[in-house]
Structure 1
Amino acid sequence: MVKRRVVLGWGLAASCGAPAALAAPVGTVPRVRVVVQNSKQIKQLPLILANRLGYFRSEGLDVQLQDLPAQAHSLPNVAQFPAEVFAGTFERTVLLHAQRRPHQAFVLMSRAPQVVLGVSPNALPGHATLKDLVGCSIGVAASGTLSHRVARLMLLRAGLRPTDVNFVEVANADRALEAFHLGEIDALSYTDPVITRLELGGVIRVVSDTRGLRDSDHVFGGPVLCTCLSASREYVEQNGEVCQALTNGVVKALKWLHTATPSDLITHVPESHMGGDRAVFLAAFNKSRETLATDGTIPLQGPVNVIRALDRLQLNLSLAGVVPAETYTNRFAQRAKAQFKV
């Protein structure tokens, strides 16, 4: 149980690691605000369900989730958005280290980005491969977002340069579906449930997929980590009880998700996270379930491969001084793993 009250400010000083733990008055529950990147995606379900199923409350926390604004989803903007506790891609932690603002991931939620690149059979023949995308238009959420970065890595694996294709921004799920159906784009790099909806409709052919560990390892050259909880190193050091409580809740939710039945999911996952179609959501979840972390621990090679991927993308980032071992800690997840036998 957490015995300290946490007051989270939203100024830039807080995002850089200003301490925020104060003594809690007797009988109060510490409140923690977590900024969430792409809260309705499957890779955020461990956080969403830890809150919804009462796991954080049972650990003595009142967790409030704040969506990251849509305009802040490119990597540089994500790094600048103030958050003492952040739920999103590990790349943010790497970028903050590169900016000499040391942060640490402290519990892993997903082991792959769950981004898929699919082509329209109308635009490309059935035997088309990634190499056949030269000159084609590819829809992505926005420039610099995860769907854009993963698409570029997929193309690099096939020997293509980003300038060999045209990236088109399709800012939300409805717009992505519309652009694909109208033939405004030849291919789409996106997450579920959009891709699964198109697959079930028989109108897309997947050519590269990171919803499975094997395929994700192929794209990145080995295991990676995607969604995690992170905070400044100073915050982690000064608020260990809070980080442990958050980790415990997430690890319990991960254990629940790996054994949840379709009925369990329909009962407990918010309707707003199902994209308006329960059947599509369940199909999408089954495709990505194995990429959810099992026990919250971060694999040794994961940070190394993420840094290598960012380096390959040539994003004008100076990553030479980033030490992988300093970007994360497993001490909280190891305790939770032992406690909950996962």
Structure 2
Amino acid sequence: MAARKGVVVRWSRRGWLLGAASCTLAPALAVRAQPAATPVEIHVQGLDRLPHLPLVLAERLGFFQEAGLRVTLTPVPEGLRTLEALAQWPAVVFAGSFERALYMHAIGRPHQAFVLMSRSPQMVLGTSAIHMPAGQGVADLVGAQIGIQGSGTVSERVAQWVLMRAGLKPTDVQFVELRDATQAMAALNSGTVEALCYGDPAVTRLELAGVLRVLADTRTLRGTEQLFGGPVACACLSASQAFIEAHPQVVQGLASAVVRSLVWLRTAGPSDLMRHVPEAYMHGDRSLFLEIFLRSRESLAVDGLMPEAAALNVMKALDRLRLPIDWQGVQPGNTYTNRFAMRARQQWRA
């Protein structure tokens, strides 16, 4: 028997044992009551590329886990770069170019982007500072050999678009496929190609070495908007409309974690990046990574929302390139949804 402030509490042996058992079992029951994390596999096009850094950091910083998800990031094979090849890759949730979502609509398999990660293609068109005279512009590339990552890739499409904006036709130049970055740098250095349309880390390495003269730069918002006439949608998370409607909580968790990562990246300093960014992003040179990050940082999305004009500008560019795609019936507004990013934006005050 115990007394507290004049109140007499009588304990029976049975009552004491039941009380002790409930106290012992309570933590175990609480642990069992926690819902299991939902497994999600995301297939990523270019896992070690800067546009997907928000996705990678969301996993490394535990943001997916806190959203109740157990995420696996699976790289898409490097050889799959064309829209046709990427459309055939069996991904439930896809991280990569927004062009794929547009293409999926065009072939009758509606997909939607639900969180935007990057607002620029991250491609640069430049000429050799060794083998081409200074002062030449895009219009002077008639007859030149231009190195690209491959036929049908973003690299080729950006190069074609730059040429068209300068009044040239894609047939005015000769495109040379250079699938490996080391091969691309060697080709420019040797004069095998006079120009290159490529991404990082190759471009920044060549710039720092003083052998690349930049003519068009889509690593920056200004360069991207000058080329496309406004904002464009690039790296994003997307899935089929059927999956999005069937699993809204999973999609919301993914969007929330990525937007939280975008917010984290806004104020991240060099020491933060060195602590959390995977070594694969460093390409064996941490100072090079920081240089690449500083040059491209502004191209990362702010809050995961897709601007209305961004989707339309991508579709207009693809249409003007006259790709063998039937765009009839494709409404850009149906190729993305902002409802999940909007909730994430409110949650993290993005």
Normalised to the residue count of structure 2, the TM-score between the two structures is 0.89
Q: Deviations over 1:129-148 (max 9, x none)?
A: 00111111111111111111
Which residue identity lines up with residue 184 of structure 2 in the other structure? A
Contact 1:170-1:176 within 8 A present in 2 as well: yes
* In 2: Cα distance, 1:111 partner to 1:134 partner: 30
Aligned counterpart for 2:168 among listed residues 134, 139, 160:
160
When the two chains are superposed, the root-mean-square deviation of aligned CA atoms in Å is 1.1
Contact 2:96 2:237 in 1 (8 A): yes
The one-letter amino acid paired with 2:72 is: Q
Aligned to 2:21: none
TM-score, normalised to structure 1, is 0.91
What residue in structure 2 maps to residue 310 of structure 1? 318
Q: Is the 8 A contact 2:304 2:341 kept in 1?
A: yes
**1:108 and 2:99 correspond:** no
- 8 Å contact 1:88–1:227 — kept in the other structure? yes
For residues 18-33 of structure 1, the aligned pairs below 5 Å read 27-33=35-41
Q: Which runs of 4+ in 1 moved over 2 A?
A: 25-28
Tell me what 1:144 maps to.
Answer: 152
Equivalence map 1:162-311=2 (5 Å): 162-311=170-319
Q: Which residue of 2 aligns with 1:131?
A: 139
Q: Which residue of structure 2 lines up, in the alignment, with residue 11 of structure 1? A: none
**CA-to-aligned-CA distance 1:21-63 (integer Å, 9 cap, x gap):** xxxx975321100010011111110111111111101111111
Contact 1:193 1:274 in 2 (8 A): no
Q: Which amino acid aligns with 1:255?
A: V
Query: What residue ranges of structure 2 are gaps of 5+ in the alignment?
Result: 1-32
CA distance in 2, matches of 1:36, 1:273: 14
| Equivalent in the alignment of 1:338 | 346
Which residue in 2 is equivalent to 1:7? none
- Greater mean deviation of Cα atoms: 180-189 or 108-117: 180-189
**Shift in Å at residue 199 of structure 1?**
0.7
Distance in 2, matches of 1:266 and 1:142, equals 32
3-state SS of paired residue (1:211) = coil
Residue pair 2:130, 2:189 contacting (<8 A) in 1 also:
no
Of 90-99 and 74-83, deviating more is 74-83
Percent same amino acid at aligned positions? 51
SS of alignment partner, residue 179 of structure 1 = helix
Matched residue of 1:301: which SS? helix
State which of 89, 98, 103 in structure 2 corresponds to 1:81.
89
CA deviation profile, 1:176-225 (whole Å, cap 9, x unmatched)? 12222222111111111111111111111100001111110111121111
Asked whether the 8 Å contact 2:125–2:159 carries over to 1, the reply is: yes
2:15 equivalent in structure 1: none
User: Aligned AA for 1:185?
Assistant: V
Separation in 2, partners of 1:136, 1:305: 28
Higher helix share: 2
- Structure 1 Cα separation of the partners of residues 56 and 182 of structure 2: 23
Matched-pair contact (CA < 8 Å) for 1:79–1:96: yes
Please, which runs of 5 or more residues in structure 1 have no aligned partner?
A: 1-24
1:114-133 deviations in whole A, cap 9, x for unaligned? 11011102222110100111
Aligned amino acid, residue 93 of structure 2: V
**Aligned equivalents of 2:181, 2:272: Cα separation in 1:** 25
1:94 match? 102
CA distance in structure 2 between the aligned counterparts of 1:124 and 1:301, rounded to whole angstroms: 37
**Residues 119 and 301, structure 2, Cα contact 8 Å, conserved in 1:** yes
Q: Does 1:57 align with 2:65?
A: yes
SS of equivalent residue, structure 1 residue 62: strand
* Distance in 2 separating the partners of 1:201 and 1:121: 10
Corresponding residue of 1:17: none
